[in-house]
Amino acid sequence: MLAPWPFPTVDVPDHHHHTLGSVILAIGNTGMVGNFLIMCTFCRSKSLRTPANMFIINLMALTDFLMCVTQTPIFFINSMHNSWIFGDGNRK
């Protein structure tokens, strides 16, 4: 018979989840604002719009911004709920 959850779990106090979620929220918000400001600066300054700089902006600022936008809220909400909120994942 298979175990209900294939990975071992550890009981972690709630305040550890909340602290980690708050730290990730602060880092994620800083990343969103910082990368957005970098993209705005590159878009407003014609001298910075060289092919090499556009590659760097696309590779670094845009992808970092999208990572922050998509992952920070999910991580924060899961930390506040102390578990994965999108189901148990074991249903077949």
What pLDDT is recorded for position 90? 58
Which pTM does this prediction carry? Answer: 0.75
Q: Which two tokens stand for residue 73?
A: 């809220």
Judge whether residue 89 has pLDDT over 80. no
Phi, psi of 7, rounded to the nearest 5 degrees? -110, 145
Span 85-90, average pLDDT: 72
CB neighbours (10 Å) of residue 32? Answer: 17
